[in-house]
Amino acid sequence: MLRYLTAGESHGPALSAIIEGLPAGLPLDPEQIDRQLWRRQQGHGRGYRMKIESDKAEITAGVRFRRTLGTPLALTIVNRDYSHWTDRMSPTAQQPADVQQVTKPRPGHADLPGVLKYEFDDVRNALERASARNTATLVAVGAVARQLLAQFGISLYAHIVQIGQVTVDVAALSGVTHEDMAARAEASAVRAADPHAAELMVAAIDGAKQAGDTLGGIFEVVATGVPVGLGSYAMPDRRLDARIAGAMMGIQAIKGVEIGLGFEAARRFGSQVHDAILHDDLRGIYRPTNGAGGIEGGISNGEPIVVRVAMKPIPTLYKPLPSVDLATKEPFLATIERSDACAAPAAAVVGENVLAWVLAEALVEKFGGDSLQEMQRNVAGYTARVAVRAGRSVQAPETEETR
């Protein structure tokens, strides 16, 4: 069983994560974790906070000489901005008498339901943990998970398909390989693989910023190399698509998730939705299309897993919406915290790493093993059996023992 726990406030001393269930002997490169954290901070439309923080994860437990020990792995990401907030966010000092409380909840945030739920007088007690700053830990955890996935030939990338009213030209991307899609997205300021659409997206973000407004978007995450058999139809909470959807909805500001054709499937005839099953001697059993997005009956079917995720506009506006002061009940314009004009490109990186975690969780669940070598043996035996059943030959994954 692979699981994690995170802690930390947006302007507190640090963000923390503990991961339990990683197999022993997994090579772990801390630079790859920092690389994912850096990617989360990029993208046209990001705000001033990204210039303050330069996130790096410190591994403090569970790893020796860059290999996991099979024990809980601990990560810490220091908040550099905490130095400006020690008088307002100290975990150990007594609360100063003159501390300024936040009493004006911002529409679209967790501010109002948070203070009502937890009986807070100060909105800051809710907004700090609810902040999307905490997606840094999701990325760090996913960055560890994707290093496990890489051992089994599973890779991921994300790209933007829409920002505001601007969408990518699907026809322009026809025939583009997964490798090229990933490279194009990585080179784009808005993580869009369609250069023309990317220019229009940049202009739309700039226009929203000038107007004191914000924009959301839709991103797509693709995982390739995923074996058949992750997840289960046995119970609703074991379905791989349900687990992916739930994890994506757990990211701040996410409002919708689609697998494969998603909502488009509801607009088509069944003959235009479902993926035929074919066979030839070279490939064995294969699919000519992937409308299912790599998942059927809650189980991965060997095709690339395709997930699209809708992010709402950041709710902090520089022309704020009306709110009510909780202390006086008087109308007031909502409090302004530092904000992004558009964070969809960054959210795509978060989604990419969140999907990595869910897949790693399902992989460990199916193939188990106290060590990486044991897990590799389990995968090799399973892969060989599936290949025979599918009518194709397969080269068993290389392990340290067979090199």
Q: 255-268 as b/e, with b when 16 or more CB fall inside 10 Å?
A: eebbbbbeeebeee
Predicted local confidence at residue 402, as pLDDT = 39
Q: DSSP string covering 72-130, please?
A: -EEEEEE-GGGGGTHHHH-SSSPPPTTPPPP--PPTTSSHHHHHHHHT-SSTHHHHHHH
Q: What is the pLDDT of residue 396?
A: 47
CA 286 to CA 284: how far, in whole Å? 6
pLDDT at 338: 61
CA distance 246 to 394: 34
User: Residue 91 is encoded by which pair of tokens?
Assistant: 């975990």
Structure confidence at residue 335 (pLDDT): 63
Tell me what pLDDT residue 127 has.
95
pTM of the model: 0.94
Could you give all domains of the chain from N- to C-terminal order, each with its CATH number? 3-370 (3.60.150.10)
Question: In this structure, is the dihedral angle defined by the CA atoms of residues 142, 143, 144 and 145, taken in order, positive or negative?
Answer: positive
Best CA proximity match to 366, nearest among 382, 384, 390: 382
Residue in 3, 4, 71 with CA at minimum distance from that of residue 370: 71
Per-residue pLDDT of the chain (403 residues; tens, 9 = 90+): 899 999 999 999 999 999 999 999 999 999 999 999 999 999 998 765 555 668 999 999 999 999 999 999 999 999 999 999 999 999 999 999 889 899 999 999 999 999 999 999 999 999 999 999 999 999 999 999 999 999 999 999 999 999 999 999 988 898 899 999 999 999 999 999 999 999 999 999 999 999 989 999 999 999 999 999 999 999 999 999 999 999 999 999 999 999 999 999 999 999 999 999 999 888 889 999 999 999 999 999 999 999 999 999 998 888 888 999 999 999 988 766 667 899 999 999 999 999 999 999 999 999 999 999 999 999 999 999 999 988 875 554 454 443 4
Q: Which of 338, 333, 326 is nearest to 131 (CA)?
A: 338
Residues in the chain: 403
Q: Are 75 and 57 in contact (CB under 8 A)?
A: yes
Predicted pLDDT of residue 48: 56
Q: What is the dihedral of CA 30, 31, 36, 38, to 10 degrees?
A: 120
For residue 52, what pLDDT is reported?
Answer: 62
pLDDT of residue 375: 98
Please tell me the predicted confidence (pLDDT) of residue 50: 54
